Structure 1
């Protein structure tokens, strides 16, 4: 199906099949559509409402034209959609080091901030990581130290057409949600945060269609694309047995509730400092009145725990949280950050 036909379908409120969505997205990614056609297509899709099959098809097209890393082993990604407007520090980035410190291979996919204060690429650069490595260099990082960063701007050159047009449209579109589904290392396991409640189930079903081995999709009642340290979080668990939905909160991880206000940052530097404190083991406390450092530590432990379960290293949140704590308190998580800084600079 070409984009003209797809637009006609969408304005008639007809869904596209997975294959049709993939074909249209491939046209977009290979620069075979005009800006007017692009804007019409994604706006019509937005008005109709995206289906899981359309999302999966478009993600497949993006994957097909991205630069790739071929590692024949299970890899885990911690990546969210962003867009919550909460301006929290980079929790999923901190989690990547904690999970890696527990012996799990990480292919961290991410980008610079679009709407928030700090994207994963921004904060990693601030921490001293060279984020602009080529695919073979990132592969070397994963092989040698067990963690690598896949910078979206490097690995998705086909976005050069659609990228500049997205801000001109002025509304959130499907492109706000495709990034976490297009890991160039084909990560088999994910912890994927979604800030828009309307997309949580759709993204979960899309992951199932795309063949994920074991993933979590999470959405906090606060609107965060993280498992929240305060209040409830909606969790979709996707594996070969299907999709299960549940709610969770800090007590399920054996942790006291923290405070969301403790997670807020004003700039990249503040996010970097919070990550350094967490990885240095600051914030260990069993007190009821929690400090800012403890709230930051605990939310990283909770989200890392989901990754540890999805990688098959634990079966329950509380068990996984203990593994995450040990990764931090043993110094292993911080060591992974130091190793990534060192090898990424040496390879540049």
Structure 2
């Protein structure tokens, strides 16, 4: 078997080409992960998919194939899966890390996973983890242990799916993002019941939601977020897409502040996350980013009155054990 039949199916030309089925996508990704596909064929497949536009079935099939290669998750499933794979070129500090920590304070274990430390020209997610009080897991077993201890952990992609990272980094060769960027957002390596996801390009909201429905996710919220992360701008109305009880769901979140400004800071310091958490600095705009994002995440996790709960957790955060 080779990727040739799948490349042929997608590249036959106008009126004859088609997307892959879910089973075909799963088989194609399986061949790639096993090293059975020629590099030229891998590039052709990914770029044809890029040109045609990814389908939810293709994304789901790819995700299933990658999941089959992952180590077993050794503990209770996290309540919330929080992928972080955005380039971050248009954003400042990753305040959403503090939002994730509030969700963990609510007793809902959060598994953050990603790979974007190389991309941000300002301050990467990994630069800010220490200030946010979030530990980095060495592998999936370690991530499960950290969730037992802290209710939150960050799992680097290279520590649980190095072959997927190789595919993601083909962007450096091909010059364009590929379906792998979308696949990693829906991968859900810990088998969480809910997921929060960000996109930079709005059309991917429905794509990721539809793929998660195929993958059996019960609750999911996806937004056009800061730099492509799951982080809401408090000065804007936010369109919400996703799933509730496994069914397609949409809603609208109104602006929280009457303000016009970008998320990016003039000279961000990753340590400011810790300073905002401790109360050393007072930044109303950053605080509203944290609270607004936490509200959406808590709602996804099924928490009643998520806005009030986020505000209460923020007031009580100093009582939380230091991570």
TM-score (structure 1 length as normaliser): 0.82
CA shift in 2, pair 1:68/1:184, >3 Å: farther
Cα deviations across residues 60-119 of structure 1 (Å, max 9, x unaligned)? 112221234233345212234424631221133221111111221111212233432344
CA distance in 2, matches of 1:175, 1:272: 31
Structure 1 position 216 matched with structure 2 position 206: no
CA distance in 1, matches of 2:140, 2:265: 31
**Equivalent pair of 2:109/2:151 in contact (CA under 8 Å):** yes
One of 285, 299, 302 as aligned partner of 1:295: 285
Structure 1 position 329 matched with structure 2 position 315: yes
Structural RMSD (CA)? 2.6
1:143 alignment counterpart: 148
Structure 2: gaps of 5 or more residues: none
**Equivalent pair of 1:65/1:158 in contact (CA under 8 Å):** no
Q: CA deviation at 1:216?
A: 0.5
Secondary structure of the structure 2 residue equivalent to 1:270 = coil
CA shift in 2, pair 1:129/1:32, >3 Å: same
CA distance in 1, matches of 2:90, 2:254: 19
Q: CA deviation at 1:121?
A: 2.7
2:185 alignment counterpart: 180
Q: CA deviation at 1:171?
A: 0.9
Pick which of 295-304 and 82-91 moved more: 82-91
Structure 1 position 8 matched with structure 2 position 25: no
**Equivalent pair of 2:135/2:146 in contact (CA under 8 Å):** no
**Equivalent pair of 1:197/1:219 in contact (CA under 8 Å):** yes
CA shift in 2, pair 1:130/1:191, >3 Å: closer
Secondary structure of the structure 2 residue equivalent to 1:238 = strand
CA distance in 1, matches of 2:131, 2:158: 17
One of 35, 41, 47 as aligned partner of 1:31: 35
1:279 alignment counterpart: 277
Structure 1: gaps of 5 or more residues: 285-292, 340-348
> More helix per residue: 1 or 2?
1
CA distance in 2, matches of 1:234, 1:222: 16
Q: How many positions carry a matched residue from both structures? A: 318
Pick which of 62-71 and 138-147 moved more: 62-71
CA distance in 2, matches of 1:2, 1:125: 45
1:311 alignment counterpart: 301
Q: CA deviation at 1:41?
A: 0.7
1:288 alignment counterpart: none
TM-score (structure 2 length as normaliser): 0.88
- Equivalent runs, 1:171-210 vs 2, <5 Å: 171-210=176-215
1:55 alignment counterpart: 59
1:78 alignment counterpart: 82
CA shift in 2, pair 1:137/1:161, >3 Å: closer
1:93 alignment counterpart: 97
CA distance in 1, matches of 2:281, 2:131: 22
